[in-house]
Structure 1
Amino acid sequence: MSDYIWKKGSSTDVDARVMRFLAGEDVVLDRQLLPFDIRASQAHARGLARIGVLTAAQAEAMTESLDALAAAFASGEFVLDARYEDGHSAIESWLTERLGEIGGRIHAGRSRNDQVAVALRLYLKDRLARLARFCADIARICLERADREQAVPLPGHTHLQQAMPSSLGLWWAGHAEAFVDNLALARQTAQWLDASPLGTASGFGVNLALDREGVAAELGFARLVVNPQYAQNARGKVELRALDALSAATGDLRRLAWDLSLFASQEFGFVRVPANFCTGSSIMPNKLNPDTVELLRSLHATVVGARTELDNVLSLPSGYQRDLQDTKPPTIRGFERGLAGLELAPGMLSGLEWQTERMRSAIAPELHATDRANELVGQGQPFREAYRQAAAEIDGLGRRRAEDSLRARISPGGCARLELGTLKTRLEGLLDASLE
């Protein structure tokens, strides 16, 4: 490993075992953060030039050298590995090796504390934008299929027992609205954490008139984290809220995947999952297993586990503590795994093949009892009396058709009035707002 950027001289003893423990997963995790760290370093260099700490030529040399680092990292020519303590030290090492003493000036007016804080916020803004995009993709496919299949009968269930005739349109629209909400939450969360901590240094400010506002604007932040202490105290807090937005989406995906797990079983036989999202058994030649559905179902556990781990790290006093290093592993693990699963969902959903006759034939006569009770209410009976009469008439409900039941469900959002236009308008409005 190259010299640590915090060493004061040759007398500083460094125990290799201690350093391995302290570094933890930083080098590996910082591979996700390095592009954002490079961007922030370039903006910081230009900000230092604006206040005279660097010359314009020095800032330009740093910026060009960091462009080269970004390109080398993207191509695989540069690898962030055990030579470095973390991504921050790799950046400084790169600059000093290529620019000499000029490279050592990059750290003026900042600490690794605000350096990692700004990289994490940039990372979270990027990942929340991806989350919003995947939620929009899922919602769009659900709405498209709800429109095409709105009148296809599907047995509705409560308590895993058959309840009333329902429709594919209602089922698809229910999941669509969930992901429209998740899109909105991802956007709101991104706006909430859209503040730059860069320039707060170790949590106390610095004796330089830093152009914090200019640097924040260059990095695309809407505002500053004003107070240096809060810049440190917010570490972990913003990650928690970002994971909350992610967990809302993976939680809804888990419910959708559960439905498909049941519907795809031979006992239900309502749907076929596309073969390219399935695998076979290593021993049973007859098996085609919906493994993607099942792992999308368990995906939420990874995100919630990450959130729980992160929350337990944050039992800390004000200011920076080294414990905060341990906010990175769960945050990055949760987002990388969670987004990888959400990205797969649209393709799988678009390829589902419904077994419509199997679904229609599964609707037993007694599922029409609630419709019968409501008809009696419409004729003037009190509901409780109608409820008892409908229960007594169950044996005579066999001639009813599911399609007639669906057409009669005219309450807003019901099978005959899905309000798909309302959901589409809301989705489009959220997408249009993101472009402003």
Structure 2
Amino acid sequence: MSNLLWQKPGVQVEADIQRFLAGDDVVLDREFFLHDIEASRAHAEGLQAIGILSVEELEGLTRELGTLADDFRSGRFVLDERFEDGHSAIESRLTERLGDAGRRIHTGRSRNDQVLVATRLWLRERLDRLQAVCRGIADVALARAQSEQMIPLPGYTHLQRAVVSSCGMWWSAWAEGFIDNAMRAGDTRAWVDANPLGSAAGYGVNLPLDREHTTHALGFGRMQVSATYAQLSRGKFELAAIDALGSALLDLRRLAWDLSLFTSAEFGFVALASQYTTGSSIMPNKRNPDVIELMRASYASVAAARTEIEQLLSLPSGYHRDLQFSKGALVHAFGRGLAALELLPDLLRRLEWRPEAMSAALEPSMYATDLAVDLARSGVPFRDAYRQAADPQRWQAGDPAGSLAARVSAGAGANLQLELLQRRLAALQPAAASGSAEG
């Protein structure tokens, strides 16, 4: 490992202790490295504006930061165990190439606000992806609800056959759910979109840093004003982002459960495209829905990350090294969560219903609720109508199309109000396009 940024004369650094301190920071920082470079460029512009850097030094730093970003993308520069973390790698590279200008880049900032700003920039990208994929899922679900709205599908409560439902109701439920998830991702993105750069270690610096400049240069919607709150917000913003991700993955978990049941031989309602199934290592007859099972499991990673970060936040004010462990939880949650969600639109697009099996599962008892409502509409008090309709002697093979056509309440089979959902989806602007810095 190269010389440590904080190392002082006479201080001995033991390798095993330093390995424990660094942990897997240098690997995790690969996720944030380009954002750290971007923030370093904005910070250098601010330093030049107040006379810490000359115009020539700023030009050199801007050039070398761009080269470092290109080298990192291409693999010519690897962030590895030579460095304590991404921050030290940037400073080391700039000092190697530019001498004193590289040594000046850290003036007025701390690794504390460096990691805060890089994390915010990273979260903005991830929340944009989350919103985009939720919009995509909702779009597929709305299209299929429109074309399949009157195909009968058994409706279940307590996993028991309950009433006649429809593919249209099933699809519209997921459409509205993922519209809500997209809205939540956008709202969370706007809340996270605050610039902490210039807060240093949480107490500001004795330099007239133009924090509004870095806010605009990095495209933040607002400045995080209090230097101390910037440190207190670490973990808090991450939890909000994880909650937005978790909202979508909770819906994915329930959807995957439906598909797990519907693809089983006992139900037989759905066939998945072969790309989403795998074979058994021992049973030649098997095709297993492993993709939807891992989709169902993905929420566990998000819940674990949320718990880990929440437990880390049992701290007094100010920075504490405990917070280093929040990085891994955050990266793992979004890595696994987005990977699962981004497979879903195409899976849903290729899903095939088996209408014969669905119709065969519609038994006479599933029309009892229709009978009770019909009796109530004719003037029988509902509780009396309920008791009459509970008599199996009154159950008859029903007409699923008629049952659905009679379901006229808003959101029911004959009144899905898909146009309203389509308008809500269309009204969701991509978060990146809707945010703008104050000033």
Q: TM-score range by the shorter chain?
A: over 0.9
**What does residue range 144-163 of structure 1 map to in structure 2 within 5 Å?**
144-163=143-162
Shift of 1:395: 3.7
Shift of 1:223: 1.0
Match of residue 133 from structure 1: 132
**What does residue range 222-371 of structure 1 map to in structure 2 within 5 Å?**
222-371=221-370
Match of residue 31 from structure 2: 32
> Contact 1:121 / 1:194 at 8 angstroms: preserved in 2?
yes
Q: Does 1:399 align with 2:407?
A: no
Partner deviation per Cα, 1:67-106 (whole Å, 9 max, x = no partner): 1111111111111100000000000011011111111110
What's the TM-score once normalised by structure 2's chain length? Answer: 0.97
> Contact 1:151 / 1:406 at 8 angstroms: preserved in 2?
yes
Match of residue 406 from structure 2: 408
**What does residue range 166-177 of structure 1 map to in structure 2 within 5 Å?**
166-177=165-176
Q: Structure 1 residues 233 and 339, CA, compared in 2 at 3 Å: closer, same or farther? A: same
SS at match of 1:156: strand
Give, in whole Å, the separation in 2 of the partners of 1:21 and 1:205: 29
Shift of 1:434: 5.8
Unpaired runs of at least 5, structure 2: 435-439
Shift of 1:174: 0.4
Give, in whole Å, the separation in 1 of the partners of 2:286 and 2:66: 51
> Contact 2:186 / 2:430 at 8 angstroms: preserved in 1?
no
SS at match of 2:220: coil
Q: Does 1:113 align with 2:112?
A: yes
**What does residue range 35-184 of structure 1 map to in structure 2 within 5 Å?**
35-184=34-183
Match of residue 3 from structure 1: 3
Letter of the 1:274 counterpart:
A
Give, in whole Å, the separation in 1 of the partners of 2:433 and 2:236: 27
Shift of 1:12: 1.6
Q: Structure 1 residues 319 and 433, CA, compared in 2 at 3 Å: closer, same or farther? A: closer
Give, in whole Å, the separation in 1 of the partners of 2:45 and 2:335: 31
Match of residue 425 from structure 1: 423
SS at match of 1:357: helix
Letter of the 2:54 counterpart:
T
> Contact 1:135 / 1:183 at 8 angstroms: preserved in 2?
yes
Shift of 1:325: 0.8
Partner deviation per Cα, 1:256-281 (whole Å, 9 max, x = no partner): 00000000000000001111011100
> Contact 2:36 / 2:115 at 8 angstroms: preserved in 1?
yes
Partner deviation per Cα, 1:371-396 (whole Å, 9 max, x = no partner): 0000111111110011111112x344
Unpaired runs of at least 5, structure 1: none
Q: Structure 1 residues 407 and 434, CA, compared in 2 at 3 Å: closer, same or farther? A: farther
> Contact 2:185 / 2:245 at 8 angstroms: preserved in 1?
yes
Shift of 1:55: 1.1
Give, in whole Å, the separation in 2 of the partners of 1:418 and 1:435: 31
> Contact 1:186 / 1:245 at 8 angstroms: preserved in 2?
yes
Letter of the 1:417 counterpart:
N
Give, in whole Å, the separation in 2 of the partners of 1:176 and 1:130: 17
Partner deviation per Cα, 1:207-242 (whole Å, 9 max, x = no partner): 100010011111010111111111111110100111
Give, in whole Å, the separation in 2 of the partners of 1:431 and 1:51: 38
Give, in whole Å, the separation in 1 of the partners of 2:361 and 2:16: 64
Give, in whole Å, the separation in 2 of the partners of 1:329 and 1:340: 16
Letter of the 2:120 counterpart:
R
Give, in whole Å, the separation in 2 of the partners of 1:42 and 1:202: 19
Q: Structure 1 residues 335 and 22, CA, compared in 2 at 3 Å: closer, same or farther? A: same
> Contact 1:366 / 1:395 at 8 angstroms: preserved in 2?
no
Give, in whole Å, the separation in 1 of the partners of 2:286 and 2:2: 53
Match of residue 387 from structure 2: 388
Letter of the 1:430 counterpart:
L
Give, in whole Å, the separation in 1 of the partners of 2:431 and 2:132: 13
Letter of the 1:303 counterpart:
V
Shift of 1:194: 0.9
> Contact 1:205 / 1:228 at 8 angstroms: preserved in 2?
yes
Shift of 1:130: 0.4
Partner deviation per Cα, 1:130-189 (whole Å, 9 max, x = no partner): 000010111111111111110000000000000000000000100111100000100000
Letter of the 2:3 counterpart:
D
Partner deviation per Cα, 1:357-409 (whole Å, 9 max, x = no partner): 110111001100000000111111110011111112x3443331111100000
Give, in whole Å, the separation in 2 of the partners of 1:266 and 1:220: 53
Superposed CA RMSD: 1.0
> Contact 1:369 / 1:391 at 8 angstroms: preserved in 2?
yes
Give, in whole Å, the separation in 2 of the partners of 1:245 and 1:149: 30
SS at match of 2:429: helix
Shift of 1:435: 3.3
Give, in whole Å, the separation in 1 of the partners of 2:431 and 2:319: 36
SS at match of 1:220: coil
Shift of 1:307: 0.3
